[in-house]
Amino acid sequence: MSMDRRDFMVAGAALVSAAAAVPQAAQAASGKGATARHRRIAIEEAWSIPEHLDALAALATGEWDNLDAQMIDTAGSKSQGATSKNLMDTEARLAEMDRLGVDMQILSLTSPGVQLFRKGPAVDLARLANDRLAEIVRARPTRFGGLASFAPQDPAAAAKEMERAINELKLHGFVVNSHTHNEYLDDPKFWPILEAAEALDRPIYIHPRAPSDGWSHVIGGNHMQAAIWGFAVETGSHAVRMMLNGVFDRFPKLKIVIGHMGENLPFHLWRTDYWYERRRDSYASKLKPSEIMKRNFFITNSGVEHGPALKYSIDVLGADRVLWAIDYPYQPMKPAVDFINSVDISEENRALILHKNAEKLFSIPTART
């Protein structure tokens, strides 16, 4: 959007048609010679449909004092912003992928997804978005994957939609945009969602949105609620709530992905462990946060093209817990490609981060050689 990170609108788009092979550009991409041999799968890539963006725009036209609503483009589908065009235009997206050697993007409905809406409309809109996303994936299965949306407002319906998304639509996992009406996934009311994800053996990507209402007097204004600070505060806090409140004791095989180099958690993990150990009896979890991070969590570098941060995350969590992402269209593709091509890491770790971890985590077929 024109207000910081989200330019929620649509300029129209065509659904993709014929299946495409891995782009030639991927075989001859710029960067280190060894890097050009690696498949590139980008994990956190935003996408939307006209109905979604129009519905969001309608929510933002009133007097609702909501941090997410403040970032929505009220012009909706009538806008002509470049970011909003790129959300919908899969052909232009694909051309840029070809140019830069990005083999595949995993698409997900742009934040805040369906989580601002009432229960009934949210359930219907998630289903519609998943159907449209599945069409795109079916048309070009080697170029696009998809994370299914669901409506946490109705946990039972969400679990059913998650099952449909994997078993019928053949999508690759799930996306949720942190809190829903100021409530978090550690609340037992949402446990049918976590149970479904664990049973289906597919990860939930917890994507940022503006912090819940309790933060509004601290973090509102000057776009602090967005990518500059609020997104990491919100999503990192959500993850820690889940860790400390026993979610992963109950769901030991649950897989969670968080972006933006782990929403700052890798860099605070030593201190989090230290205070967990001092007050262990205060928390429902029998595992310390670092143990949960290394067992149940994966991170992406979405929107963070910083070598020291990536190398630190690899050192703390292991390269098998880190995946590559662009954060398109909110950040451009070329700097993300240039970064992963040139960052000083081993080729073994580069291959894990670029494609091997994603193939395993999201059940993506390996590329033909």
Q: For residue 25, what are the CA distances in angstroms to 95, 136, 215, 261, 303? A: 10, 21, 45, 27, 23
How many C-alpha atoms does 133 have within 13 Å on its Cβ side?
A: 35
Cα separation, 121 vs 253, in Å, equals 31
Residue tagged active-site, from 320, 327, 338, 344: 327
Contact present, 188 and 198 (Cβ < 8 Å): no
Phi, psi of 144 (to 5 degrees): -130, 140
Amino acid, res. 361: L
Both tokens of residue 361? Answer: 């985590």
Which residues, in sequence order, are bridge partners of residue 42? 105
Distance of alpha carbon 63 from its chain centroid, rounded? 29
Both tokens of residue 304? Answer: 């963070």
Contact present, 91 and 11 (Cβ < 8 Å): no
The position carrying tokens 């967990």 is 276
Length of the chain: 369
Contact present, 1 and 66 (Cβ < 8 Å): no
Instruction: Give the list of residues 6+ apart from residue 278 with CB closer than 8 angstroms, or none.
Output: none
Cα separation, 221 vs 148, in Å, equals 31
For the question of residue 327 being annotated catalytic, the response is: yes
Nearest C-alpha neighbor of 60 from the set 144, 1, 134, 123: 1
Both tokens of residue 61? Answer: 């036209």
Nearest C-alpha neighbor of 105 from the set 349, 323, 342, 347: 323
Residues belonging to the active site: 327
